[in-house]
Structure 1
Amino acid sequence: MTIQISYKDNILPTATEMAYVFKDSGLKRPVDDLPRIQKMIDHADLIVTAWHNEALVGVARCVTDFSYCCYLSDLAVLSKYQKLGIGKRLVELVQSTIGEQVALILLSAPDAMDYYPHIGFNEIKNGFIIPRKN
Protein backbone atom coordinates (compact mmCIF):
# COMPACT_ATOMS: atom_id res chain seq x y z
CA MET A 1 0.00 0.00 0.00
CA THR A 2 1.36 3.41 -0.99
CA ILE A 3 0.79 6.35 1.33
CA GLN A 4 -0.21 9.56 -0.46
CA ILE A 5 1.74 12.50 0.95
CA SER A 6 1.00 16.05 -0.18
CA TYR A 7 3.60 18.80 0.15
CA LYS A 8 2.68 22.42 0.70
CA ASP A 9 4.52 25.70 1.05
CA ASN A 10 1.40 27.83 1.30
CA ILE A 11 -0.17 26.40 4.46
CA LEU A 12 1.37 27.02 7.85
CA PRO A 13 0.95 24.41 10.56
CA THR A 14 -0.43 25.38 13.94
CA ALA A 15 1.96 25.57 16.87
CA THR A 16 0.30 22.46 18.30
CA GLU A 17 0.76 20.49 15.07
CA MET A 18 4.38 21.51 14.74
CA ALA A 19 5.17 20.80 18.40
CA TYR A 20 3.69 17.32 18.00
CA VAL A 21 5.85 16.58 14.96
CA PHE A 22 8.95 17.86 16.77
CA LYS A 23 8.22 15.79 19.87
CA ASP A 24 7.34 12.58 18.03
CA SER A 25 10.30 12.84 15.67
CA GLY A 26 12.73 13.24 18.56
CA LEU A 27 13.81 16.73 17.53
CA LYS A 28 14.62 18.68 20.66
CA ARG A 29 12.58 21.87 20.51
CA PRO A 30 10.60 23.79 23.16
CA VAL A 31 7.47 21.70 22.51
CA ASP A 32 5.81 22.66 25.80
CA ASP A 33 6.13 26.38 25.01
CA LEU A 34 3.52 26.87 22.30
CA PRO A 35 3.89 30.68 22.18
CA ARG A 36 7.59 30.17 21.40
CA ILE A 37 6.74 27.58 18.73
CA GLN A 38 4.28 30.09 17.26
CA LYS A 39 7.05 32.70 17.08
CA MET A 40 9.21 30.12 15.29
CA ILE A 41 6.43 29.76 12.71
CA ASP A 42 5.70 33.48 12.44
CA HIS A 43 9.30 34.51 11.87
CA ALA A 44 10.36 31.76 9.48
CA ASP A 45 10.95 32.82 5.88
CA LEU A 46 10.03 29.46 4.38
CA ILE A 47 8.08 26.52 5.76
CA VAL A 48 7.44 23.45 3.62
CA THR A 49 5.10 20.84 5.08
CA ALA A 50 4.17 17.23 4.39
CA TRP A 51 0.62 16.04 4.99
CA HIS A 52 -1.08 12.65 5.05
CA ASN A 53 -4.73 13.46 4.52
CA GLU A 54 -5.31 16.31 7.01
CA ALA A 55 -2.47 15.37 9.38
CA LEU A 56 0.88 17.14 9.45
CA VAL A 57 3.57 14.46 9.16
CA GLY A 58 6.67 16.50 8.30
CA VAL A 59 8.05 20.01 8.31
CA ALA A 60 11.07 21.92 6.99
CA ARG A 61 11.42 25.38 8.54
CA CYS A 62 13.95 27.86 7.16
CA VAL A 63 15.37 31.31 7.69
CA THR A 64 16.71 32.76 4.44
CA ASP A 65 17.41 35.86 2.36
CA PHE A 66 16.46 33.90 -0.83
CA SER A 67 19.66 35.22 -2.38
CA TYR A 68 22.81 33.85 -0.72
CA CYS A 69 22.09 31.53 2.18
CA CYS A 70 19.30 29.54 3.76
CA TYR A 71 19.44 28.04 7.24
CA LEU A 72 17.33 24.89 7.51
CA SER A 73 16.56 25.27 11.18
CA ASP A 74 14.11 22.37 11.51
CA LEU A 75 13.62 19.17 9.55
CA ALA A 76 11.27 16.77 11.29
CA VAL A 77 9.09 13.84 10.24
CA LEU A 78 6.74 11.83 12.47
CA SER A 79 8.46 8.62 13.55
CA LYS A 80 6.02 6.27 11.79
CA TYR A 81 6.53 8.18 8.51
CA GLN A 82 10.32 8.17 8.63
CA LYS A 83 12.30 6.21 6.03
CA LEU A 84 9.67 6.94 3.36
CA GLY A 85 11.66 9.72 1.69
CA ILE A 86 9.60 12.54 3.21
CA GLY A 87 12.57 14.37 4.76
CA LYS A 88 14.52 14.11 1.51
CA ARG A 89 11.54 15.43 -0.46
CA LEU A 90 11.09 18.35 1.95
CA VAL A 91 14.76 19.28 1.42
CA GLU A 92 14.34 19.00 -2.37
CA LEU A 93 11.35 21.35 -2.24
CA VAL A 94 13.28 23.84 -0.11
CA GLN A 95 16.14 23.71 -2.64
CA SER A 96 13.71 24.20 -5.52
CA THR A 97 12.25 27.27 -3.82
CA ILE A 98 15.55 28.93 -2.87
CA GLY A 99 17.34 28.15 -6.14
CA GLU A 100 20.87 27.13 -7.06
CA GLN A 101 22.55 30.39 -5.99
CA VAL A 102 21.58 29.88 -2.35
CA ALA A 103 23.61 27.68 0.03
CA LEU A 104 21.50 25.41 2.25
CA ILE A 105 23.00 25.15 5.74
CA LEU A 106 21.94 23.26 8.85
CA LEU A 107 23.07 22.19 12.29
CA SER A 108 22.40 18.49 12.77
CA ALA A 109 21.07 16.82 15.87
CA PRO A 110 23.73 14.34 17.03
CA ASP A 111 21.50 11.34 16.22
CA ALA A 112 21.00 12.55 12.62
CA MET A 113 24.65 13.06 11.63
CA ASP A 114 24.60 9.96 9.40
CA TYR A 115 21.33 10.96 7.70
CA TYR A 116 22.26 14.21 6.00
CA PRO A 117 25.08 12.92 3.76
CA HIS A 118 22.55 10.42 2.33
CA ILE A 119 20.31 13.24 1.11
CA GLY A 120 23.00 15.38 -0.49
CA PHE A 121 24.56 17.45 2.32
CA ASN A 122 28.33 17.80 2.70
CA GLU A 123 29.77 17.90 6.20
CA ILE A 124 31.56 21.12 7.13
CA LYS A 125 33.96 21.74 9.97
CA ASN A 126 34.24 25.51 9.88
CA GLY A 127 31.24 26.52 11.94
CA PHE A 128 30.86 28.20 15.30
CA ILE A 129 27.99 28.73 17.71
CA ILE A 130 27.05 30.89 20.68
CA PRO A 131 24.45 28.58 22.25
CA ARG A 132 21.09 29.76 23.54
CA LYS A 133 20.72 30.02 27.32
CA ASN A 134 17.36 28.18 27.39
Structure 2
Amino acid sequence: MNIEFKENILAPDEFIRLRVAAGFMEVPYGQAEKALENGLFTVSAYDGENLIGMGRLVGDGSMYWYIQDVAVLPEYQRQGIGSAIVERLISHAQDSLAAPWASIGLTARKDKEPFYEKLGFTRLPNDGCGAGMKKSILASD
Protein backbone atom coordinates (compact mmCIF):
# COMPACT_ATOMS: atom_id res chain seq x y z
CA MET A 1 0.00 0.00 0.00
CA ASN A 2 1.42 3.36 -1.07
CA ILE A 3 -0.63 6.21 0.45
CA GLU A 4 -0.14 9.65 -1.07
CA PHE A 5 -1.23 12.83 0.70
CA LYS A 6 -2.34 15.80 -1.38
CA GLU A 7 -3.25 19.33 -0.33
CA ASN A 8 -6.10 21.57 -1.47
CA ILE A 9 -7.39 19.36 -4.28
CA LEU A 10 -10.47 17.86 -2.62
CA ALA A 11 -13.41 17.91 -5.05
CA PRO A 12 -17.05 18.18 -3.88
CA ASP A 13 -18.09 14.82 -5.34
CA GLU A 14 -15.18 13.03 -3.62
CA PHE A 15 -15.90 14.91 -0.38
CA ILE A 16 -19.54 13.79 -0.41
CA ARG A 17 -18.71 10.20 -1.37
CA LEU A 18 -16.12 9.79 1.42
CA ARG A 19 -18.38 11.43 4.02
CA VAL A 20 -21.13 8.90 3.26
CA ALA A 21 -18.74 5.91 3.12
CA ALA A 22 -17.28 6.92 6.51
CA GLY A 23 -20.73 7.17 8.12
CA PHE A 24 -21.19 10.96 8.01
CA MET A 25 -24.36 12.67 6.82
CA GLU A 26 -24.66 13.26 3.08
CA VAL A 27 -24.69 16.92 2.04
CA PRO A 28 -25.94 18.47 -1.21
CA TYR A 29 -23.32 19.10 -3.91
CA GLY A 30 -23.71 22.89 -3.77
CA GLN A 31 -23.21 22.94 -0.01
CA ALA A 32 -20.10 20.77 -0.28
CA GLU A 33 -18.73 22.97 -3.07
CA LYS A 34 -19.19 26.16 -1.04
CA ALA A 35 -17.77 24.56 2.12
CA LEU A 36 -14.62 23.56 0.25
CA GLU A 37 -14.28 26.97 -1.42
CA ASN A 38 -14.60 28.77 1.92
CA GLY A 39 -12.30 26.46 3.85
CA LEU A 40 -8.68 27.28 4.60
CA PHE A 41 -6.86 24.04 3.82
CA THR A 42 -7.58 20.40 2.98
CA VAL A 43 -5.56 17.21 3.14
CA SER A 44 -6.62 14.20 1.09
CA ALA A 45 -5.19 10.68 1.29
CA TYR A 46 -5.16 8.50 -1.81
CA ASP A 47 -4.44 4.86 -2.42
CA GLY A 48 -3.69 5.04 -6.12
CA GLU A 49 -6.56 7.05 -7.63
CA ASN A 50 -8.95 6.28 -4.77
CA LEU A 51 -9.67 8.87 -2.07
CA ILE A 52 -9.45 7.00 1.22
CA GLY A 53 -9.14 9.81 3.78
CA MET A 54 -9.55 13.56 4.23
CA GLY A 55 -9.60 16.43 6.67
CA ARG A 56 -10.24 20.17 6.48
CA LEU A 57 -9.20 23.32 8.32
CA VAL A 58 -11.72 26.12 8.66
CA GLY A 59 -11.68 29.29 10.75
CA ASP A 60 -10.18 32.76 10.59
CA GLY A 61 -6.70 31.59 9.62
CA SER A 62 -5.08 33.51 12.45
CA MET A 63 -6.34 33.03 16.00
CA TYR A 64 -8.89 30.25 15.63
CA TRP A 65 -8.65 27.16 13.50
CA TYR A 66 -11.10 24.26 13.47
CA ILE A 67 -10.54 20.77 12.18
CA GLN A 68 -13.55 19.40 10.33
CA ASP A 69 -14.54 16.33 8.37
CA VAL A 70 -11.68 14.03 9.31
CA ALA A 71 -12.73 10.77 7.71
CA VAL A 72 -10.95 7.59 6.66
CA LEU A 73 -12.62 4.68 4.91
CA PRO A 74 -13.27 1.91 7.47
CA GLU A 75 -10.97 -0.59 5.73
CA TYR A 76 -8.06 1.88 6.00
CA GLN A 77 -8.58 2.87 9.62
CA ARG A 78 -6.04 2.05 12.35
CA GLN A 79 -3.14 2.38 9.90
CA GLY A 80 -2.00 5.89 10.86
CA ILE A 81 -3.74 7.64 7.96
CA GLY A 82 -6.09 9.70 10.12
CA SER A 83 -3.21 10.73 12.39
CA ALA A 84 -1.13 11.76 9.38
CA ILE A 85 -4.01 13.87 8.07
CA VAL A 86 -4.53 15.64 11.42
CA GLU A 87 -0.79 16.20 11.85
CA ARG A 88 -0.63 17.83 8.40
CA LEU A 89 -3.58 20.07 9.28
CA ILE A 90 -1.89 21.12 12.53
CA SER A 91 1.42 21.75 10.74
CA HIS A 92 -0.29 23.98 8.20
CA ALA A 93 -1.83 26.07 10.99
CA GLN A 94 1.52 26.31 12.80
CA ASP A 95 3.34 27.32 9.63
CA SER A 96 0.73 30.03 8.99
CA LEU A 97 0.98 31.69 12.41
CA ALA A 98 1.87 35.37 12.39
CA ALA A 99 1.41 35.64 16.16
CA PRO A 100 2.77 33.72 19.16
CA TRP A 101 -0.33 31.54 19.64
CA ALA A 102 -3.53 30.24 18.14
CA SER A 103 -6.15 27.69 19.06
CA ILE A 104 -7.16 24.61 17.07
CA GLY A 105 -10.54 23.21 18.00
CA LEU A 106 -12.66 20.31 16.83
CA THR A 107 -15.70 18.31 17.72
CA ALA A 108 -14.82 14.64 17.97
CA ARG A 109 -17.34 12.01 17.00
CA LYS A 110 -18.54 10.08 20.01
CA ASP A 111 -15.93 7.56 21.19
CA LYS A 112 -13.21 9.09 18.95
CA GLU A 113 -11.87 11.33 21.74
CA PRO A 114 -8.91 9.01 22.52
CA PHE A 115 -7.74 9.31 18.89
CA TYR A 116 -7.48 13.09 19.22
CA GLU A 117 -6.01 12.94 22.73
CA LYS A 118 -3.08 10.96 21.30
CA LEU A 119 -2.51 13.93 18.98
CA GLY A 120 -2.41 16.44 21.84
CA PHE A 121 -6.03 17.57 22.08
CA THR A 122 -7.71 18.05 25.45
CA ARG A 123 -11.26 17.09 26.36
CA LEU A 124 -13.72 19.78 27.33
CA PRO A 125 -14.90 20.77 29.82
CA ASN A 126 -11.75 21.14 31.87
CA ASP A 127 -10.46 23.60 34.48
CA GLY A 128 -9.84 26.33 31.91
CA CYS A 129 -12.72 25.81 29.46
CA GLY A 130 -16.38 24.91 29.55
CA ALA A 131 -18.01 22.27 27.41
CA GLY A 132 -17.86 22.59 23.64
CA MET A 133 -21.24 23.47 22.23
CA LYS A 134 -22.99 23.55 18.87
CA LYS A 135 -26.32 24.47 17.36
CA SER A 136 -27.71 23.07 14.13
CA ILE A 137 -29.75 25.46 12.03
CA LEU A 138 -32.16 24.93 9.15
CA ALA A 139 -32.45 27.04 6.02
CA SER A 140 -35.22 29.64 6.05
CA ASP A 141 -38.16 28.95 3.78
TM-score by length of 2: 0.81
> In terms of mean alpha carbon deviation, does 41-50 or 115-124 score higher?
115-124
Unaligned 5+ residue runs, structure 1? none
**Residue-pair matches, total:** 129
Q: Distance in 1 between matches of 2:62 and 2:34?
A: 23
Q: Distance in 2 between matches of 1:128 and 1:80?
A: 31
Distance 1:29 1:62, change over 3 A: farther
Unaligned 5+ residue runs, structure 2? none
Aligned to 1:104: 104
What is the DSSP-based 3-state SS (H/G/I as helix, E as strand, rest coil) of the residue aligned with 2:118?
helix
Q: Find runs of 4+ consecutive structure 1 residues off by over 6 angstroms.
A: none
Alignment of 1:84-95 (within 5 A): 84-95=79-90
C-alpha RMSD of the superposition? 1.8
1:90 Cα offset (Å): 0.6
Query: Residue type matched to 1:9 in 2?
Result: E
Q: Distance in 1 between matches of 2:26 and 2:111?
A: 14
Corresponding residue to 2:134 among 100, 123, 129 = 129
Q: Distance in 1 between matches of 2:121 and 2:12?
A: 28
Alignment of 1:5-44 (within 5 A): 5-10=3-8, 12-30=9-27, 33-44=28-39
Q: 1:24-48 deviations in whole A, cap 9, x for unaligned? A: 1112342xx1121111111111111
Query: Residue type matched to 1:117 in 2?
Result: E
TM-score by length of 1: 0.85
Equivalent pairs: percent with the same residue?
26
